[in-house]
Chain A
Amino acid sequence: MKYLSTAPWRWSFISAAVVWLIAIAVTHGNGAGAMLTSALAMATFIVIVGIGQMFVIALGPGNIDLSLPANIGLASAVAMTVMNGDNALVGLGLLAALGCGLMVGLANYLLIWALRIPPIIATLSASFIIQSIDISYGRGLQIKPPPAFADFANLQFLGVPVLAVLAVLLAAFAALVLQHTIYGRWVLAVGQNARAARFAGVKVGWTRAATYMLCGALGGIDGALLAGYFRGANVDIGNEYLLSSIAVVVIGGCSVAGGKANLPGIWGASLFLVLLLTMLNTFGVGAGVRLLLTGIIIVAAISVASDDRAREGA
């Protein structure tokens, strides 16, 4: 219990519960369960990329992956093309999306390493190019996902989306990797003090490369799953995941200064973001007000959640 009352992520779950209760109050309790089901499904997609972004941000100040939206967009198109609507090719399509994401992550890291430029600029330039490849490659792409894959992405069991369960397992696995494997400890060590880590024998370069590739791979998988869930790929499918992937890391209680990360917070913050949108929708507000309030609440949440010792991330 003591752990619970001091855990940095508790606020994200409390906030998520509060916005859910407000939304239910507005609808007089109608659709409370359905609201939670769809929130779980949508939060899953944020959690997957949020975990990737969390590992990258944990690498220390300045580390951030701005190429996630472009990566998701391209991977969704690649997955749909490879699957070609055929149930038998689902595995191959997922592998292709995974490989596509890994390549994006590798390209990001090579740019950072070879050009000695800040990750923001490297991932930004990479995302420009990926975006163009995607626009050019995915133009007019009208391939539907194989029925089995689309059904799987939308599958629910007693109101709980199967993908959400898998994402919980993924988060648990990521927590295990972070705390109990050499790689995870290296990520945190590099994030706390890259120089000290290097002297201590940590392979800093390899750790960074692996982390950017991990983030890229998670982005790729997310793209394929999104295309399955929404029954089709599209260039803009990943657009909202830049803000949300970064926001869940910060709101979830990870330090933007790096070297500190926690997985439950990613889930809490993702649920908070999704339920926030649900709440605004139940108010019946227009697109303008919804964007306005989302922005204000995110900035407010970050201002409150971020700890004072946080150093500049950019």
Chain B
Amino acid sequence: MIPPAGTTLHLRSLARALLPAFSLLVVLAGIAWLNPRSISYFGFSLMLNLAIPIVLATLAQMFVILGNDLDLSIGPFIGFATCVSATWLYDAPMAGAAILVCAVGAYAAMGALIHLRNLPSVVVTLGMGFVWQGLAILVLPQPGGQSPEWLASAMGVQPPFIPFPVLAAAVIALVVWFLLERTSYGVILRGSGGNPIAVRRAGWSLLKIKMTLFALAGLFGVLSGLSLVGLTTSADANIGNGYTLLGIAGVILGGGEFVGGRVSPIGAVVGALTLALAASPLLTFMNIPPDWQVGTNGAILIIVLTARVLVSRRQEAV
């Protein structure tokens, strides 16, 4: 199974790295074929309207997956963040900001609990999902609230030539890529997923690393909630629920793996955009009822994973 020469490994990793971009191109080609007019500045602005919160939710999930964990609470957490943003942050900005900072702290504490008690992250985060949902309902029992003005105007920016969602996704992807791939602590974070024992023997605290990863997930969850409120100008305790699974799907589509700290920030953003485009615009243009929206995500996931297996097999055979 070991590739005989460096070139094989190179080809194989190249093919794998290009798979997320290829999936996105296929979906874009489908959209262009069905509705050529949508491939325009305003077309993309509309189609990718809700892409930024999805991208941020996917990156939040990516930080957790990086540490070989899984976060099933990020959706309700994003819902909680929207509720706080549309109430406290509007009425009392300082208090609202303090709550959101505490929420990120709670995420770090959850990481610490998982690490110290050696608990399965799936179970802990599933339980914490209930906590965030409950808090969200307490903050905002009925959908509503109001977006802080600066938030709505920030999300309504119309930059020249490049649609805002595309530009924002690119900037976010580059920032996270730089943090993870080009800073020394980023390398340590990735190493903790690949070989935690080696990282610990090298003198790094796995507890601190786990807390950092979960804090980053919390931070991106809050950002996702903020962008969602800026776009929809109101909040709802249930608004984020779909983002848990969407985020996991985005990370995997983007070439991430569940174990070994193998994730790619740029791939994850591309994966999130693919899902955002495939889930609603493509289906609408194909006249498929929205009932199949979730199913399409599942089907895309399976197709891409099949392609990944085929790519790997072919390269192994060489």
Residues of A at the B interface (CB closer than 8 Å) are 62, 64, 111, 114-118, 120-121, 124-129, 131-133, 135-136, 139, 242-243, 246-247, 250, 256, 286-296, 298-299, 302-303, 306, 308-314
Contact = CB atoms under 8 A, between A and B. Distances in A.
A22 B258 CA distance: 42
A264 B113 CA distance: 27
Given A115-B309, A121-B252, A256 B123 contact: yes
Interface in B244-276: 245, 248-249, 252, 258-259
A132 B298 CA distance: 9
A104 to B, nearest CB: 13
B120 A312 contact: yes
Interface residues of B, number: 48
Contact of A312 (B68, B308, B309): B68
Contacts of B298: 124-129, 131-132
Contact of A243 (B127, B299, B302): B127
Contacts of B136: 288
Contacts of A250: 120, 123
Given A132-B298, A291-B137, A121 B248 contact: yes
Contacts of B129: 243, 295
Given A128-B294, A128-B301, A313 B123 contact: yes
A131 B294 contact: yes
Contacts of A136: 289, 291-292
A114 B307 CA distance: 12
B70 A314 contact: yes
Interface in B287-318: 289, 291-299, 301-302, 305-306, 308-309
A306 B129 CA distance: 19
Contacts of A310: 118-120
Nearest to A62: B258
B305 A121 contact: yes
Nearest to B295: A132
Contacts of A286: 137-138, 141
B43 interface: no
Contacts of B70: 120, 314
B127 A292 contact: no
Interface in B124-148: 124, 126-138, 141
Contact of B131 (A111, A124, A129, A296): A296
B22 to A, nearest CB: 17
Contacts of B299: 125, 128-129
A302 B123 contact: yes
Contacts of A124: 245, 248-249, 298, 301
Interface of B is mostly: helix
Interface of B: 68-70, 113, 117-124, 126-138, 141, 245, 248-249, 252, 258-259, 289, 291-299, 301-302, 305-306, 308-309
B127 A299 contact: yes
Contacts of A293: 134
B134 A292 contact: yes
Given A295-B134, A306-B119, A314-B70, A247 B293 contact: no
B133 A291 contact: yes
B87 to A, nearest CB: 13
B84 to A, nearest CB: 14
A296 B308 CA distance: 39
Contacts of B302: 111, 115, 125, 129
B117 A306 contact: yes
Nearest to B136: A288
Most chain A CB within 10 A, of B70, B117, B128, B298, is at B298
B248 to A, nearest CB: 6
Contact of A125 (B137, B301, B308): B301
A308 B133 CA distance: 29
7 contacts: A62-B258, A125-B299, A129-B298, A299-B127, A302-B123, A303-B117, A313-B120
B69 A312 contact: yes
B241 to A, nearest CB: 10
B141 A288 contact: yes
Given A132-B296, A250-B120, A306-B119, 17 more contacts: A115-B302, A115-B306, A117-B305, A118-B259, A124-B248, A125-B249, A125-B305, A133-B295, A243-B129, A288-B138, A291-B130, A291-B137, A292-B134, A295-B131, A296-B131, A299-B127, A314-B69
